[in-house]
Amino acid sequence: MSFEGLRVTALAGGVGAARMLRGLAAVTAEDNITAIVNTGDDTVLHGLYVCPDLDTITYTLGGSSNPATGWGIQGETWAVMEALGQFERLGLPGAGNLTWFGLGDRDLATHLFRTGRLAAGVPLSQVASEVATRFGVTARLLPMSDEPVRTMVELAGGTPVPSFGGLGRPCAPGTSGGATANEPAQGPTEVGFQEYFVGLRHSVDVTGLRFAGAERARPAPGVIEAIEQADVVVVCPSNPLVSIGPVLAVPGIAQAVAARRGSVVAVSPIVAGKALKGPADRMLSELGSEPSVVGVARLWSDIASTLVIDEADAALGPQVERAGMAFAVTKTVMSGPEDSARLAEVVLATASGAPGPGWR
Amino acid sequence: MSFEGLRVTALAGGVGAARMLRGLAAVTAEDNITAIVNTGDDTVLHGLYVCPDLDTITYTLGGSSNPATGWGIQGETWAVMEALGQFERLGLPGAGNLTWFGLGDRDLATHLFRTGRLAAGVPLSQVASEVATRFGVTARLLPMSDEPVRTMVELAGGTPVPSFGGLGRPCAPGTSGGATANEPAQGPTEVGFQEYFVGLRHSVDVTGLRFAGAERARPAPGVIEAIEQADVVVVCPSNPLVSIGPVLAVPGIAQAVAARRGSVVAVSPIVAGKALKGPADRMLSELGSEPSVVGVARLWSDIASTLVIDEADAALGPQVERAGMAFAVTKTVMSGPEDSARLAEVVLATASGAPGPGWR
């Protein structure tokens, strides 16, 4: 079955989405793919505007990603971070941990470029496209919005939070910093997503989530059209709450996806009750969802008609149906490019209504 | 003659001042030295707040400077700039030249640290002190002000100005950038100091200077006291117009120095009608001063009682006196640490009223 002419639009988070997109690019024409990427994870570090999900997808599709980690650049060096560590070792009062978020030298060039372009007034969506071009990516990578949306994580009371250095809005001396780019925490136990995910290694209990700024954000130019005009919409196997959640929180996007529900196929990020990467399983439990394909189906049944689940969860298929979604079963774990391509074929075949290799 | 107990305060620009300060630190107690450093050269590049003069002095006093250039860090690597060059080579419309201002990997760590600290609301004067500590500097390095002052250079009409990328105020997407950190140019031929100095290699004609923001700036905490309480105030051999000029443009500083005029010794940055480094000679001519020790004396006679001039200019001593300054003659060219120390001895001996080796 050929998917060459298919226009595919994907809702995407980080590493899982990057691997799914790499598979889609392998089995269809990469330049027919549009990814609508979560920017709720974005942060300002040492004055630099960092977009972890956009960069992970860019580096992966461009063949530059570090296969060992899934994020960052292959063959990366760390001269800047090592020199920053010299400041950290001084233990300057109030400076905090300065190297908690690793920024490799080549990765830093991306952040310097992006921050300089944003400072010149170029919208994030254009900068994302320029960065994609630099890495040889021909898929269209769109941030969910050109406006800032910040995923804020409420931690269980009493969670000790170390001092993370370098955060805050970049600013000139004599102007007030801190406030707008990194939304100020509401209450003592709320932190930005990267502080939770990287700084605390997501090993703390979460009691709530908030997408600060989402209500004022508009979909980036092209986002709604890409959903409306796609032959297939794919919800990538990303954390439903903190990767896909922010995308759907931008007014207009969830409605546009729901309007295409019959052409929307989602891939479960949960396999046998566990997240393949990251805290999705624990976070689902902590925030009142079932950490299973059934819980995922309940969250996504309004926007997607079909859920692709792993063979390990085949027995839960009927429950997925009762949650309102058709299901397809295949191997969803992507250990390498071949796995990604095969999963992409199943997803596209499922969406096209043709019985793919794993269709049941 | 011992200068160990002497409290020395210096007005300082970049490389020439750094070498003078290294000499002063060699012949007196480094922690009795306060340098009041020009920040009119500061710029925001790729979102990072860069302080060229503070850093040059810090790296030099800390023994980390690159002796070949006078600026930057010894043994520096350039991984980030090389990766940024990959963006530049794409020739993206509007992105401009991205590597016109070289930022080495270790130097970048300083800028990341500083920008993050400023974003956290720490004043520049405290950050300068923290950076000095990191590099083992025990002299007190004070920016002239914690508020932004930008040296803007008016170029002769018709000067072609290429597109310098990365400039402008760092900002979050969706907020307006550009305006406050890098003062907008007034008219088509005005550029920031670094665009003139580094970008255009100061090889264009200058028709005017402006210290944007100076009228609103306040001396950084400790600046006025350091001038008032010093035993000797040294005006370093820095460009009178664009290095010492901005310092004196901060309201209160010139008056405080003038009040100590009898204890103020200046070192001419002009030797035999030429600047040892940079465009001071041409700039003096272009802006109506004589490019000689006499022209320097006319600019500084209100704030300093004595001008130290090079042996090559000994014959101009009487004219320096007619311009209102005493003079001392010595070798002022600093080719290495020994030259710096010897010059420092002459400067301090001159200030102390004792006949130093070059006193006439």
Could you report the per-residue pLDDT of A115-138, keeping only the tens digit for each?
Answer: 999 999 999 999 999 999 999 999
- CB contact under 8 Å between A173 and B147, yes or no, is yes
Neighbours of A319 (CB within 10 A): 17
Structure tokens at B219: 């001396």
Residues of A in contact with B134 (CB under 8 A): 86-87, 90
Token representation of residue B12: 């300082």
Chain A nearest CA to B18, separation (Å): 22
Give the mean pLDDT of chain B.
Answer: 91
Task: Suggest the residue from B98, B171, B183 to mutate for an interface test with chain A (most A CBs closer than 10 A).
Answer: B171
How wide is the angle at C-alpha B71 spanned by C-alphas B106 and B150, nearest 5°? 95
pLDDT mean over A338-350:
96
Mutation target to probe the A interface, by most A beta carbons within 10 A, among B92, B129, B133 is B92
Residue range A186-209: mean pLDDT, rounded: 88
A173–B120: do the CB atoms touch at under 8 Å? no
The neighbouring-strand residues paired with A209 are A153
Contacts of B166 in chain A (CB under 8 A): 112-113, 116, 119
pLDDT-above-70 percentage for chain B? 92
Q: What is the model's pLDDT at position B69?
A: 84
- CB neighbour list of residue A256: distance below 8 Å, 6 or more residues apart: A219, A223, A224, A227, A228
Query: Which tokens is A117 given?
Result: 């372009």
* Cα dihedral value A210, A214, A220, A222, nearest 10: 90
Which chain B residues are Cβ-neighbours of A47 within 8 angstroms? 47-49, 111-112, 115-116, 118-119, 170
Q: What is the pLDDT of residue A55?
A: 97
Residue A179 has pLDDT above 50, yes or no: no
Closest residue in A to B113 (Cα–Cα): A46
Cα Rg of chain B, angstroms: 20
| Residue for token pair 């970048």 | B108
Q: Which of A49, A84, A133 sits opposite B109 (nearest CB)?
A: A84
List the 73-92 stretch of B: residues with Cβ below 8 A of A: 77, 79-84, 86-87, 90, 92
Name the region of A142 (left: φ>0; alpha: ψ -120 to 50; beta: rest).
beta
Q: What is the pLDDT of residues A60-114, one digit of tens each?
A: 999 999 888 888 899 999 999 999 999 999 988 888 899 999 999 999 999 999 9
Q: Residue A238 has what DSSP assignment?
A: S
Chain A residues with CB under 8 Å of B90 CB are 130, 133-134
Q: Which of B42, B49, B117 to mutate to test the interface with A (most CBs of A within 10 A)?
A: B117
The sign one gets for the Cα dihedral B91, B96, B97, B103 is: negative
Q: How many contacts does A have with B, using Cβ atoms within 8 A?
A: 237
Do the Cβ atoms of B168 and A119 come within 8 Å? yes
What is the C-alpha to C-alpha distance for residues A295 and A267, in angstroms, rounded to an integer? 13
Higher pLDDT, B162 or B81: B81
- Which pLDDT value is given to residue A336? 93
Q: Inter-chain contact A170–B115, Cβ cutoff 8 Å?
A: yes
In this prediction, residue B169 carries a pLDDT of 58
User: Could A80 and B106 be called an inter-chain contact, meaning their C-beta atoms sit closer than 8 Å?
Assistant: yes
B133 burial (CB, 10 Å; 0-12 / 13-18 / 19+) is middle
CB-CB neighbors (< 8 A) of B55 in chain A:
none
* Sign of the C-alpha dihedral computed for residues B20, B24, B30 and B32 taken in this order: negative
What distances in angstroms separate CA A81 from CA A98, B84, B278, B347, one per listed residue? 9, 17, 33, 41
Of B79, B116, B170, the CB nearest to A166: B116
* Helix H or strand E encompassing B43: strand B43-45
Note whether A83 contacts B106, CB cutoff 8 Å.
Answer: yes
Mean pLDDT of B291-298: 98
Kindly list the residues from chain B whose CB atom is less than 8 angstroms away from the CB atom of residue A124. Answer: 173-174
Q: Which of A81, A172, A176 sits opposite B49 (nearest CB)?
A: A172
Q: What's the CA gap between A256 and A258, in Å, rounded? A: 5
Residue of A nearest to B216 (CA): A174
CB contact under 8 A, A181 and B166: no
| CB-based contact, B179 to chain A, within 8 Å | no
User: In A, residues 19-58, which contact B (CB 8 Å cutoff)?
Assistant: 44-49
Residue B5 pLDDT more than 70?
Answer: yes
> Strand, coil or helix: what is A355?
coil
B172 or B106, which is more confident? B106
Read off the tokens for A349. Answer: 């075949």
Specify the amino acid at residue A249: A
pLDDT tier, A186 (very low <50, low <70, confident <90, very high otherwise): low
Q: Is B63 on the interface with A (CB under 8 A)?
A: no
**Residue range A303-343, pLDDT digits in tens:** 999 999 999 999 999 999 999 999 999 999 999 999 999 99
| A275 φ, ψ (degrees, to nearest 5) | -75, 140
Would an 8 Å CB–CB cutoff place A289 in contact with chain B? no
Strand partners, B342: none
B153-A49-A156 Cα angle (round to 5): 140
Cβ separation A167–B119 shorter than 8 A: yes
Write out residues 121-150 of A within 8 Å (CB-CB) of B. Answer: 121-124, 130-131, 133-134, 143, 145-148
Using the predicted structure, report yes or no on whether residue A174 has a pLDDT greater than 80.
no
* Nearest residue on chain A to B108, alpha-carbon basis: A80
Backbone angles phi, psi at A145, to 5 degrees: -155, 150
In a mutational test of the B interface, the residue from A81, A115, A216 whose CB has the highest number of chain B CBs within 10 Å is A115
Q: How far is B285 from chain A (nearest CA, A)?
A: 33
Question: What does the alpha-carbon distance between residue A343 and residue A21 come to, in Å, rounded to a whole number?
Answer: 10
- Average pLDDT in the B176-203 region? 71
Q: If you average pLDDT over residues A230-235, what whole number do you get?
A: 98
Nearest CA to CA, how far is A179 from chain B (Å)?
9
| B122, B99 Cβ separation under 8 angstroms | no
Distance from CA of B303 to the nearest CA of A (A): 28
Nearest to A303 by CA among A324, A283, A330, A319: A324
CB A156 within 8 A of CB A202: no
* Mean pLDDT (whole number) for A134-157: 96
Amino acid A39 reads T
Q: Does B2 reach chain A within 8 Å, measured CB to CB? A: no
Q: Which residue has the tokens 């994870």?
A: A41
* Rounded distance between C-alpha atoms, residue A113 and residue A201, angstroms: 28
The alpha helices in A104-222, defined as continuous H runs, are 105-119, 124-134, 193-194
Q: How far apart are CA B163 and CA B99, in angstroms?
A: 11
CA A58 to CA A143: how far, in whole Å?
12
Regarding an ipTM greater than 0.85, the answer is yes
